[in-house]
Structure 1
Amino acid sequence: MTRRLFSQLIRRLPHRLVARDPLLDTRSAHQAGTMPPGLAEQCLKVAQMPESELWQAFNSHPEGLNAEAVAQARAQYGFNRIPEEAPTPWWGHLWLCYRNPFNLLLTVLAIISYSTEDLFATGVILLMVAISTLLNFVQEARSTKAADALKAMVSNKATVLRTVDELGTTRWCEIPCDQLVPGDIVKLSAGDMIPADLRVVQARDLFIAQASLTGESLPVEKAAHSRQAEQRNPLESDTLCFMGTTVVSGTAQAMVIATGGNTWFGQLAGRVTQQENEPNAFQKGISRVSMLLIRFMLVMAPVVLLINGYTKGDWWEAALFALSVAVGLTPEMLPMIVTSTLARGAVKLSRQKVIVKHLDAIQNFGAMDILCTDKTGTLTQDRIILETHTDTAGEVSNRVLHLAWLNSHYQTGLKNLLDTAVLERVDEFQARANVEHWHKVDEIPFDFERRRMSVVVSEAPDAHLLICKGALQEMLDVCTHVRQGEEIVPLSEALLVRIRQVTDDLNRQGLRVVAVASKFLVAREGDYSRADESDLILDGYIAFLDPPKESTAPALKALHASGITVKILTGDSELVAAKVCREVGLDAGSVITGSRIENLDDMALAELARHTVVFARLTPLHKERIVRLLRQGGHVVGFMGDGINDAPALRAADIGISVDGAVDIAREAADIILLEKSLMVLEAGVIEGRRTFANMLKYIKMTASSNFGNVFSVLVASAFLPFLPMLPLHLLIQNLLYDVSQVAIPFDNVDDEQIQKPQRWNPADLGRFMVFFGPISSIFDILTFCLMWFVFHASVPEAQTLFQSGWFVEGLLSQTLIVHMIRTRRVPFLQSRAAWPLMAMTLVVMCIGLWLPFSPLASYLQLQALPLSYFPWLVGILAGYMALTQLVKGVFTRRYGWQ
């Protein structure tokens, strides 16, 4: 099991919020046997342990650990990392770089060559394998190092209570999750991932999504004190939280009881080493292309053997020649080209504030043709301003502001920009006065089912005030009265109409409306719950302005020009969404709301999603469903989100895109992390993804067409010549030099038109490309045969060395020039120039090819010096080859396009 598999496992497990994970399909998660017996017993013991014993068992206390205790715990337990995440040893990495179909195939051919005592061929083949493996090894090591450095920039953190000085001062600190040790006290709130195995010590409406471990589709509630009389399965314990699960709602403090490989997740990771992940779109594409080239080789090599054996009568020599043709048809540099191109693309993207968590995602980035995104922070500035605070009639109300401030100040759950805007609106003097008069009693945290949250505060010992704020419709569901000035009146149909008029008017101004309600309660002991959010009095509204970004309109135009359709999926009001879209030049058309989606089947929604630009008032599962249906329609879909409500859609998309400031669950679910939440940054990243893919495609096109042409030429020559057109040795050297010239392709420039539209794997297009461009080189190879036969009279076996030298030079130069011809649809060297590394490598290879027949190695290589009169003919043949290729490029492009 490779390190990559474990990283994918760790990335995937925590985010299957609804469906059961395939890794657990073979066993019931509700059986105690799913956890090693010793670990299960230990967890059950901790789950039932009184709090006083808990502190003692883990050498901890309510004030948190000090530096000395942390050091001792780390020395005993190590870092909070899954053991399988440790870097693969260099020898293991080298083996993985060698173990690809092309290298294995070449190794078989080398063994066959060795068994025939063709030691030179054996050496050349092994040299090609060594070059491919070592280059791939170096590039993967560099890319892994770069990827680790980039991922470290966006690593998840945990909020932990630590003693920070010798005086015993404690403070909540944010530290990387891998720094946690058993005994640490961590704080949890909505959107957090559970960073280790935890025992809850304080909780308020804490709900955990643990489908990744248990298959339960709904979140489960956790508490500090167990309400279960008997516990047999730790996964069902209501006082334990396990690494890799996610906080859906509520708040808590919990003690770390296990880290790294000692967690249940760590144990699971160690037990699924034989499980293989389903390959993604990129891997499937590479696999299809690789198998196409291998099948082509397996068909053509026997054909060459039969023709040469039948026409020459020397089956042994024919077998060696067919073996060399098989080597020449093997694109052994493909793994290295792919790895180095992806690695270079990831590094270039990082300079544009785009962090690639998984290299394979770059191809999907370039192939994306639909981008689904939220409105807030993407189209808008993500800089919320409290624009107004009104009563239910739309008049400015300081009471509503006061209630909203108390709610935002005392809530400890999912912090957001709305709360920040409310707190900033009240000056320091007023805030201090509020804190002096009021104290917090309890809170009912926010969740996406209720779409509201409440705090309970007290000013007098005999009364409590519950203050609730949230989305308008969800607030109206729990309100029975309305405050009008100093009066409180029942909520009637007439008042509902007036409320709609006032809030719709605010929405049409582009303001986001949040309702505020309250009620007084008789002071009591005990916790408050959702049931207390009833019979509320609607006090008024706070309305927020999130102005559109100046860069949004140009970015939308750039994305449209790049062939990407932008769709807005927001939980906000349809009026606000439509207003913002108009301001940024996006035609919203008919806005579809979540309530309408509920009544549509998948077929109807898929058709609607194709044409709809803006969806509003969506739940997390609505977003996930839309993304999934767009993918099923044949689109490559990207989803950009940063909240816990975006996690299902991020996982459902071909490419999940989040930002550095997103909640843990969103960052973990994403493939791409933007260091700046901007569509401009995203557009730049898409272009770089396409540029990376275009360079990979160049090598595949060059190799496929060149190989096809060479084999066609060999077949023609073999059928009519009384000797082999080229020795096996010549084919091997030619292929080796050609491969070396390809090493610089990842550094090549890409024409603008190649990155204007999404690019995807298309094996059928590759087949057409081979058929169109392969025979072109064969035409000029045959002209070279005629030249050597009729002009230089190399028509008898005694003159075969001259014939073979002439075709060796022409074949190598034409193969090298095809790099420049196929890398662009434009006129090479004039309208489109290759990057200097590629220019330099091809020039060096061409010089070596011209030098070899004249070099001291010529006799050893069975080559001979060519007459000077050969070279004007060579220039003419190469010029004709380039001219015809350029002409065919125009025909091919007009008919099929140029990807």
Structure 2
Amino acid sequence: MKWKKKLQQPQYALNSEKVFLTAIQPAKSVYSYLQTTRLGLTRAEVEDRQLTYGKNEVVHEQKKNPFIVFIKTFINPFIGVLTGLAVISLVIDVLMAEPGEQEWTGVVIIAVMVVCSAILRFWQEWKANEATDSLMKMVKNTCLVKRAGSGEEELDITELVPGDIVFLAAGDMIPADLRIIESKDLFISQASLTGESEPIEKFPEVKEKQYRKGSIVELDNICYMGSTVISGAAKGIVFETDNRTFLGTIARNLTGHRATTAFDRGISKVSLLLIRFMLVMVPFVFFINGFTKGDWFEAFIFAISVAVGLTPEMLPMIVTANLSKGALSMSKKKTIVKNLNAIQNFGAMNILCTDKTGTLTCDKIVLEKYINADGSNDESKRILRHAYFNSYFQTGLKNLMDKAILSHVKELKLEHLKDAYTKVDEIPFDFIRRRMSVVIEDKQGKRQIITKGAVEEMLSICSHTEFNGEVQSLTDELKVKAQKISEEMNRKGMRVLAVAQKSYIEKVGNFSVSDEKEMVLIGFLAFLDPPKPSAAEAIKQLH
């Protein structure tokens, strides 16, 4: 009961404070805080927590009863008008008619149109939902879990509970919200949560600055369900499962009450227009006929006939058939339409918001240009050489921009340049400094530090720059010029990194962040994720 009182949270509400408190727990106390042990949970503890929390699966929406879905196809203003007219027609033309004079035609036509429209809509939407469920059932995910008594075992991620100890390796999907307790070169892709394709390195401890900053997505030792391990290995403790996870709260917010579609609003307007028109015409026709002919019953029958005549009985069938045709066409394009009325929104949209990376672009960053600090072209490829040494000699995961540099050098067949140097040390990248450095030595024993990183951070460690071919003090005026060069490339959609170096290093021993000072800014690198060849035509077709 202690576990339930301490950690159970209101369903589907992300507790940011709990995430931060879990993140800042010291390694020696995190096991007790999350109420587990280094050996893992016992079978009894697992069963108790499974009863409390249920399966570890994100429930997007409850499976609907087929009967209820079918009944909802009749809940439509226009169908309501037709149904009302069918009932009136049934009473007047059948129930109140003399034997042998009963007229079933109007009732049958309206009923057939309404039922056929409902059946067609139900079948199309139910088939789409079944296809979606089948696709989801085909995907099975497992993870390596450590539990007391059974040791390490591979389990379906739906069996995880808070307190389980999970092992991660390259290629694994994060099965729940985890607190990292051990890691080695662990890089995580959070693209499914943030849209950023750049991997993030995770560590067992969190920086205190991150806690004060208040961004739960950027916490160094927290991994969220749905993220992917790009490289490295780690061990973590589950602290949230199912819809209580960060991913689960997003999913529940997206699958709440559905907004009214343009189609629904249009049908409602047409239905209300018909009702208003009938409220005017039916009494008018009724009283005119009644006063002129004196037979009020016949006048009433005629007024009802006018109401039936004003209503297009075939419209629901025609509309449903066209929407079904649209759904069928989209299915051939590998798109499942779960709600037929949503098709109208596709045609009615005037603004389409889409993720750029991988959708409109190739999701492959290339080195577009490399220029000197004064903005001139690097004809000697000196900037490229220094960037190549920095990317090649660093250890760990190469990020997308490092890969772009290495690929560009390979295309130019300049890979042999590295043979003249050996690596002495490196100062790894982190998200506070936003730069990384390597120390290399040539065959004559000459050492130099080469640093590349974000322009703002690089300018803060540079005291000089190579401007117009000369090494000059980096004055405020030259800093402004360098920033303008960078901003100009940013406006063209490029990512910009600055490159700096410092020669004649005589230090012996390990290098640290304190050595990144009095650097010489030598140039910039500009990267671009080029658009797909089909992007222009796709955008043109949307206009």
Partner of 1:106: 82
Matched residue, 2:114: 129
Q: Cα deviation per residue 1:33-84 (whole Å; 9 max; x = unaligned)?
A: 994699979958966766567669688989x99xxxx9x99998435222x5
Deviation at 1:538, TM superposition (A): 1.6
Between the aligned partners of 1:201 and 1:545, the Cα distance in structure 2 is 30
Matching residue of 2:125: 140
- Indicate the structure with greater helix content: 1
Partner of 1:453: 434
- Structure 2 unaligned blocks of 5 or more: 1-6, 96-103, 147-151, 155-165, 181-185, 196-201, 228-233, 442-446
Paired with 2:483 and 2:254, the residues of 1 have a C-alpha distance of 55
Distance 1:315 1:183, change over 3 A: same
1:396 Cα offset (Å): 1.6
Percentage identity across aligned positions? Answer: 34
Match in the other structure for 1:468: 452
Secondary structure (helix, strand or coil) at the match of 1:92 reads helix
**Residue-by-residue CA offset, 1:563-611 (whole Å, 9 max, x unaligned):** xxxxxxxxxxxxxxxxxxxxxxxxxxxxxxxxxxxxxxxxxxxxxxxxx
Distance 1:434 1:332 in 2: 85
Aligned to 2:276: 295
CA distance, structure 2, for counterparts of residue 508 and residue 183 of structure 1: 38
Preserved CA contact (<8 Å) 1:442 1:455: yes
CA contact (8 A) 2:368 2:526 kept: yes
Task: Report what 1:85 is aligned to.
Answer: 61
* Aligned-residue CA RMSD (Å): 6.5
Q: Deviations over 1:524-564 (max 9, x none)?
A: 99997xx9998654232234577777x5xxxxxxxxxxxxx
User: In the TM superposition, what are the counterparts of 1:870-885 in structure 2 within 5 Å?
Assistant: none
TM-score by length of 2: 0.60
Q: Measure the CA separation in 1 of the matches of 2:540 and 2:172.
A: 32
| 1:734-764 deviations in Å (ceiling 9; x for gaps) | xxxxxxxxxxxxxxxxxxxxxxxx7xxxxxx
Equivalence map 1:342-741=2 (5 Å) = 342-349=323-330, 351-352=332-333, 362-367=343-348, 384-386=365-367, 389=370, 391-392=372-373, 394=378, 395-397=380-382, 399-405=385-391, 410=396, 415-416=399-400, 418-426=401-409, 437=423, 441-445=427-431, 453-455=434-436, 467-470=451-454, 476=459, 479-483=462-466, 489-492=472-475, 514-517=497-500, 537-544=520-527, 678-683=535-540, 686=542
> Does the alignment pair 1:260 with 2:242?
yes
* 8 Å Cα contact 1:79-1:259 kept in structure 2: yes
In structure 1, how many angstroms separate the alpha carbons of the residues matched to 2:266 and 2:208? 43
Match of 1:193 in 2: 193
Partner of 1:646: none
Change (3 A) 1:48 1:242: same
What's the offset of the Cα at 1:127? Answer: 3.9
Gaps of at least 5 residues in structure 1 are 1-31, 210-215, 225-238, 246-251, 447-451, 552-676, 687-757, 759-899
Q: How much has 1:109 moved relative to structure 2? A: 3.8
Which residue identity is paired with 2:272? M
Say which structure is richer in strand.
Answer: 2
Tell me the distance in 1 between the aligned counterparts of 2:191 and 2:465.
33
Cα distance in 1 between the residues matched to 2:537 and 2:314: 35
Q: In 2 relative to 1, CA 354–38 (structure 1 residues): closer, same or farther, beyond 3 Å?
A: closer
- Larger deviation, residues 494-503 vs 103-112: 494-503
C-alpha separation between the residues in 1 aligned to 2:9 and 2:496? Answer: 48
| 1:172 match | 170
Q: Deviations over 1:830-863 (max 9, x none)?
A: xxxxxxxxxxxxxxxxxxxxxxxxxxxxxxxxxx
Q: 1:267 to 1:375 in 2, by over 3 A?
A: closer
* Alpha-carbon distance in structure 1 between the residues aligned to 2:428 and 2:482: 29
Distance in 2 separating the partners of 1:262 and 1:374: 26
Superimposed CA distance per residue, residues 397-440 of structure 1 (whole angstroms, 9 cap, x where no aligned partner): 1542235515986567xx54x44311323559779979983666
Q: Which string of whole-angstrom CA distances, capped at 9 and with x for unpartnered residues, describes residues 503-529 of structure 1?
A: 89999999875422367999999997x
Aligned residues of 1:162 and 1:172 also touching (Cα < 8 A): no
What code does the residue aligned with 1:81 have?
V
- Aligned AA for 1:87? K
Q: Structure 1's 39 and 304: CA in aligned 2 closer, same or farther, altered over 3 A? A: same
Q: CA deviation at 1:97?
A: 0.9
Q: Is the 1:110–1:126 contact (alpha carbons within 8 Å) kept by the matching residues of 2?
A: yes
What is the distance in 2 between the residues matched to 1:260 and 1:54? 21
Deviation at 1:134, TM superposition (A): 1.6
Alignment check: 8 A CA contact 2:23 2:206 kept? no
For residue 69 of structure 2, what is the amino acid of its counterpart? H
Q: What is the Cα deviation at residue 501 of structure 1?
A: 10
Given residue 133 of structure 1, which amino acid in structure 2 is its aligned partner?
A: A
Instruction: State the Cα deviation string for residues 78-97 of structure 1 (Å, max 9, x = none).
Output: 35222x51321101211211
CA contact (8 A) 2:178 2:222 kept: no
Cα drift, residue 379 of structure 1? 8.4
Question: Do 1:511 and 1:545's aligned partners in 2 also have CA atoms closer than 8 Å?
Answer: yes
Alignment partners' CA distance in 1, 2:25 and 2:480? 55
CA distance in structure 1 between the aligned counterparts of 2:437 and 2:77, rounded to whole angstroms: 65
